[in-house]
Structures are given as C-alpha cells and as structure tokens.
Amino acid sequence: MVATALTLVACGATGGGGCGGCGGFTQYPQGTYAGPKLDSAGAVRLSQQGFSYLNSDAGVRTVLSLLAPGGTLRVPVPCSTQTTSLLGIPVLQLTIADEGALFCTSESCGQMDGRCTSADVPREVTIRIDSLRFAPKSPDIVEAVIRANVQTGQLHIASTSTSACFLAGGGRIKCSIDFDTARAMPPITDLGLNLKLAIDTKWDRLLSLEVADIDGTSACSGGAQPPTCIDDADLLLTRPAGASCNVCSLGQLGAVKNLLIGQIADALQKQLNETIGELNCAPCSPTGTCPRSTAPGTSAMCVVEDGGPGKCVDSATGACIPALLGAEGRLDVSSAAPGLVPPGSEIEFAFGAGGSASATTGMGATIGLRGGVREVRPAACVAQRNRPMPMALPLPDFDRDAPATGYDVAFSVSQQVLADTLYRVQQSGALCLELGTETVSLLESGVLAALLPSLELYTEKKSVPLRVVVRPVNPPTVVVGEGTVMNGQPADPLLLVDWPQVELDVYALLEDRYARLFTVQADLKLPFSLDVQGCDQLQPVIGSLRNAITNVTVKNNELLAESPEALGMLVPQLLSLAEPQLAMGLPAFTIPDLPDFAFRIQLVRARGVGQVSGTSTYNHLGLYARLYPRTEACPAPMQPMQTSLTLASREADTVRLVGLGTQPVSFRVDRGFWSMWQPSDEFGQAVVQHPRLRLGGRHVVEVRGQDGRVGEVVFGGDPGREAEQVSRAGEAAAPTSR
C-alpha cells in the first residue's frame, strides 16, 4: 500500500529513471494529464552551501557546457533605432548596428544609411567568459555574474537627420565604434545576469527561466570603477572616410556610448533568453501536438526545424513553451506486486517544477513542484467518493529542519500528495488485495494449525490452500513525522499510515470449493521510514507492528470453535503473509544520475520538513543531500562485512540472535521489509520480533548492523520443536548510517 504510494512519487520525481518499482510506468507527452493539480506538491532547494558548490570549477564547467560551449558566446546585435539627447538636442534618432547588406561598405547597400531594413545583417559580438559565479537574490532572482572579455569589432552608427551636425560640418552623424574590454586595464568586465525564476501563468504555472535584466552595462561614472562598469577607454569612436559631420571626433559622445552598451546588453539578454528557452522548450508529442494553455485565447503550435522532433511555441509570440521539468504519465500499480494487486489498477499523474519560486539573498533558492494524481478508472470493489482539493501550502523552510552537517540540495514531497496518492490508489482498486497459494506458497492451513486447531476438523488434519481477501472499506491516510535518527532508541517513523476499518475475509478450500471461515475488521497504523544507504539509495523500512492493529472485530465465524478474540489475534500473521510481495514491489530507490552534470548526489537524511504548529507532524517529507564531483568515488561507501549469526533462542514471534555485538541493528524476515534501526538488548543480542515468526514452516531472518556487518539465520519447524539452525553470511545490502 505505502509501497505503491512511494513508488508513484519516486517515479514522478525522477521521470521513471533509476527507480526500482517503476517497471509499470509509461511516460506521457507533456500536457496529456488532465487531472487536478496542487501548486504545493513539493519543492526543490539549492542552499547557500549548494551555491558555493555550483560556483566551484566543476559546477561552472557544467553550466558553461550548456550555455556557452567552449566558454564563448557569439551574440548577434541587430540593427535598431534609438532615441537620445546629444549636444543640447533633446530628441535625436540614432541607428545602431547600421551594417547594411553582407560585405557592404557604403551607404548604397545600406551601411550607415540611417535606416534599419531587412538587408541589415546583425553585427556579431564575441563574449569570452573568464569566470562565472551564481548567487541568490531576493525575491526570486538567481544572479549569474559573468567576468568576460567583450569585443564588438567595428560597429556602425548613423543619425536619421542632420540636426546634430548643424555646427559640426553638416550632413548626418556617421560613426564607427569599436568596443574591446582588453583595450584598457582590466581587460575584462563584469556582467550581472539576473535570472528570474518565473512562473508561466499561460502554461500550467510551470517554471520558466528568463533573463530579467543585466547589471554592469553602463559607462563608468562617479565612484564606479571597472570591471563593474564599462570603461570609456575601451570604446574607440572614429569618423569614416567621406563623412562630413565631425561629431564623432568631438569626444563628447558619452550618450552614444551608453546607447551602444545598452544595445549590446539588450542583444545579449535576448540571446541568452533564446538559449535558455531552447534548453527548456517543450517538445512536440510524437503526433505533433502541444500542451493546452491555461490562459483563455492562448494556443500552441508545433514548429519543426531541420527535420527534428519539433518544439512547442506560443502561436501569438513564437516564444518557447516551458518544458515540464519532471514527469507525466501512467503507473500500473499491479506491476509492483503482480498476482497480489488486481490487474487494471492504474494511476495517472504529473509532477514538475512550478507553482511558486523564491530566492533569498545570501540564503538560497527554492522552486516549488506542481503536480497531481488521479485514478484511471474507479474500481468496482470500492465505494466511489468525492475528494475536495486541499489548501495550498507555503514553500517549506528546508534550512530550519536541515541536518547539523549541512546540505547542498534538498527535495520534498508534500503530505497532501502522499495522502492523495493513497486515496487514488484505493479508488483504483489497487488495495483490493487477494492472497492465495499461487502468490504466497506459505498460505496453507498447516501453517496456522497451532493457531487455528478447530480448522483440522474440516481438513482431516491435511494442509489445504487458504485465501485471504482484503477489502479496503476506507482509503488510508498518512501523516509525516520527524523520522528521528537512531540515537540508541527505536526511530520515530517518517510516515504513519492510518487505514481504518480494513476487512479481511479468510477462506479455506473445503470439498473442492472455497468456504469462508471468518471475517475480521480492524484499524491499521503502519509506521514507515526511509533509510539512507551508500550515496544514492533510499531503503524503505517498517517500524514495529506489535501495536499496529487495533479495534478488531470478528464476524461470519460460525464454522470455527475459536473465540472472536483468538481469531482477531490472527490478523498480524495474515497480513504478514503479503509483506514479501509488497517489499519486492518497493526495493531500495536509486536516485537517478544526471550524466550531463559534473556532480553526483550524496544523500544525507530523510526527515519531516515544515512542522505543523502545535503538533508533532510535518507538511513535507524531505530529502537532504550533498554534491560531490563526478570524478570522485562516493565519499561514504560502506562495504558489507559478512559474519556468522547464531540463533540464541526462539519464543512465539521473537528470536534472539548473537553475532553482531551491541551495535544498533535492522532486520527483515522472509525477504519482507527491513525494520527501522533498534538497539540490541543488554546481552548484545539482536532481538527480532515479527508476527510471521508465529507461523510454521521455514524462515529466513537477515540482520545488518550499522558498522556494515551482515548475516542471516535460516530455521524451520514449529515454535515448540528444536529449530534447525543454519548460520551463514547474508545477502543484505550494507547500510550507511547518518
């Protein structure tokens, strides 16, 4: 159940890649999902520490490889007519980059003719990037400071009238201007690109990066000194041969210089916005369709260039529609636990960057995740219900709940999404479980003989197949807890799933047909957490089930002699029979690698984020991580150390194992879920308590310690008989404790 919810969220967050349990995931083209969405489905944050890593050599190389391969930008500056004041003339029209046609050298082909026409070719400006630095800036800006050498080559300017040259030789202004930051020291200039974390209200409130403006693009004046401004000495103005107006020789064209610098900045801003737009442009679907707009009167069209797959643009503006930085698709829940979950139990979902974004100067930047879930079709085995949309949550404060060791990047999924996922899973029929011997070989009357002796009156003391049918009368709910680290005590669960009034029908094959033995109704409270392993894996673990089942009632039990109380005590054992299949559907999640980036993720901690005031619950499930260079090995690997375990004692549902010392341990029974970390007892024994151990037959108990030692014990027979003891090295994945 929780396996399905976490699998869905993991597949959505990673796009289906690197996610164990995502085998039933089908990617949809962007815009296909038409269900409800929340702006507060989750969030991603880059901390100030993360910005420091991004500004390292490895981080800068990664960004430059995307935006400026080879460290060089070539920016075309188009012809434009600007208005300025000059030599006391309040309004003057100047044409900048008045280049004329290709290879043109005279006014006859358009050069310095004072007009911008389609024949004017843009002047290419070369920007060689020396260094790059990122910083968050309130309220929603990521500033990218580029230290670069800028060269325009010879660029031409002309006026549209002769008024400015009345006292300067007559005619129109005609100037050649050459801008080179290497002409005077320092040989570079600083350009501050303000990248706005915009939310595109036309296109489903998705994240859309844009260069809002560029700092450092005015001539130095007052106390400003290069490289934070443009040095006048870097600009060389000349009067071309044949021009009668000598304004270019007067040395008083500061206004013209600022116009030129502004024109270069505008062209650079446009170029970068186009580059960023191309990097994050929504692709057309295989059939050539594009996402639907969320703004009235706005539409999209597919543009195919050079035989490529095509990109989606705004029909009115031609601007790229932002791509979904996430995933959209369908998940076949039954693929996680085939034979246990009914076929056809499917969920549609979409998760991606959007909804909201913020940045705080000197602190970091947070981007929201917008998403939603819905069942493909309501199941006949559950009562259909209407579920109101929850209220939107604010972006989580990751820094307040951060681990003491710090973090570079953090990711969260909201409690709302987790709860809604469980609801949609229930509505899809995925919780209408049915267990039989074809999926659970242990499900025979013989394994319950000691707990259900009156059944032997009908089976003639033979072991017959049983069936258990789970009927989800109500959808489960979930709350997010702190997810406390071990510290010598049982961990506080990260997720507590509350599933009220679950009904279990138990059948036995009697006289060639299945007869119902009894029905049990109970409330379940299942504690789960996520354990960090190695650098990039999260292992789902389960807490103690001893007090997980309450409010048990029994009915339809006329065939059996056992009391309702005795039958109610069978619920933990019956549910434990499905645990291995559910655990198989939710193995350790591997955080997907991003091969285009120069870094990898080292997970630090999974915990609750954003505590709800006055409670012990949280609004978000959060993951904290650090970054490390791709060229280095995982900073904190823990290799498994095989050791031998010995079965010290066995009683009812508890065994004690010797061999791992006094360190905290985690265990699993018969390939079920791993347990949360717990201390050994005062004798240095690992205490394993699990309802499945009450059942007869063969059991495999695996144990792992926080120092990396692993081992397992295999035993068989009934609790009252001498156990077969086989000790050997285990196959458990080694944990990394933090």
Name the pLDDT band for 414 (thresholds 50, 70, 90).
Answer: very high
pLDDT of 220 above 70: yes
pLDDT of 623 above 80: yes
pLDDT in tens, 694-710: 887 889 999 999 888 99
Name the pLDDT band for 394 (thresholds 50, 70, 90).
Answer: confident
Per DSSP bridges, beta strands 589-590 and 537-542 are antiparallel
- Residue 136 is predicted with a pLDDT of 96
Q: Which residues contact 573 (CB under 8 A, 6 or more apart)?
A: 448, 451, 691, 692, 694, 695
| Contact of 540 with 586, CB cutoff 8 Å | yes
376, 378, 382, 385: CA torsion to nearest 10 = 110
Greater model confidence, 156 or 450: 156
Going along the chain from its start, the domains and CATH numbers come out as 2-52+325-629 (3.15.20.10), 68-279 (3.15.10), 641-728 (2.60.40)
- Residue 656 is predicted with a pLDDT of 94
- Residue 733 is predicted with a pLDDT of 39
Element (H, E) at 268: helix 254-279
- Residue 666 is predicted with a pLDDT of 92
Stretch among 23-27, 181-185, 293-297, 429-433 having the lowest mean pLDDT: 23-27
Residue 511: exposed, middle, or buried by beta-carbon count in 10 A (0-12, 13-18, 19+)? exposed
| Contact of 664 with 577, CB cutoff 8 Å | no
Stretch among 179-183, 489-493, 587-591, 631-635 having the lowest mean pLDDT: 489-493
Name the pLDDT band for 720 (thresholds 50, 70, 90).
Answer: very low
Name the pLDDT band for 89 (thresholds 50, 70, 90).
Answer: low
Element (H, E) at 89: strand 89-96
Q: Which three-class secondary structure state does DSSP give residue 126?
A: strand
644, 645, 647, 652: CA torsion to nearest 10 = -140
Q: Tell me the range of 13-27, 261-275, 572-586 where mean pLDDT is highest.
A: 572-586
DSSP string, 234-245: GEEEEPPTT---
Strand ranges for 325-417 from DSSP E: 326-332, 346-360, 364-375, 409-414
- Residue 675 is predicted with a pLDDT of 92
pLDDT (mean) for 325-336: 89
pLDDT of 626 above 60: yes
Greater model confidence, 727 or 698: 698
Separation in Å, CA 393 to CA 205, 389, 396, 611: 16, 12, 8, 12
- Residue 521 is predicted with a pLDDT of 95
pLDDT of 736 above 60: no
pLDDT (mean) for 308-337: 90
Name the pLDDT band for 253 (thresholds 50, 70, 90).
Answer: low
- The first and second tokens of residue 524, run together, are 């379940």
Name the pLDDT band for 62 (thresholds 50, 70, 90).
Answer: confident
- Residue 14 is predicted with a pLDDT of 43
Q: Which residues contact 115 (CB under 8 A, 6 or more apart)?
A: 95, 98, 160
- Residue 168 is predicted with a pLDDT of 65
pLDDT in tens, 157-210: 898 888 777 766 778 888 888 889 999 999 999 989 899 999 999 999 999 988
pLDDT in tens, 5-57: 444 445 544 444 334 445 678 999 999 999 999 999 999 999 999 999 999 88
Name the pLDDT band for 92 (thresholds 50, 70, 90).
Answer: confident
- Residue 597 is predicted with a pLDDT of 76
Separation in Å, CA 553 to CA 401, 470, 471, 502, 509: 41, 15, 15, 10, 24
Query: Phi/psi zone of residue 536: left (φ > 0), alpha (ψ -120 to 50 degrees), beta?
Result: alpha
Name the pLDDT band for 727 (thresholds 50, 70, 90).
Answer: very low
Q: Which of 606, 641, 308, 314 is nearest to 482 (CA)?
A: 606
Taking the C-alpha atoms of residue 472 and residue 646, their distance in angstroms, rounded to an integer, is: 40
Please tell me the pTM assigned to this model: 0.86
Taking the C-alpha atoms of residue 705 and residue 665, their distance in angstroms, rounded to an integer, is: 4
Please, what is the average pLDDT of the chain?
Answer: 85
pLDDT in tens, 525-572: 999 999 888 888 898 999 887 788 999 999 999 999 999 999 988 888
R_g over Cα of the chain: 34
- Residue 250 is predicted with a pLDDT of 59
DSSP string, 139-181: TTEEEEEEEEEEEEEEEEEEESSSGGGTTTTSS--EEEEEEET
- The first and second tokens of residue 338, run together, are 């085939």
pLDDT of 124 above 70: yes
- Residue 684 is predicted with a pLDDT of 87
Taking the C-alpha atoms of residue 230 and residue 253, their distance in angstroms, rounded to an integer, is: 14
pLDDT (mean) for 336-341: 82
pLDDT (mean) for 406-430: 94
Name the pLDDT band for 245 (thresholds 50, 70, 90).
Answer: confident
Residue 319: DSSP 8-state: P
pLDDT (mean) for 279-291: 90
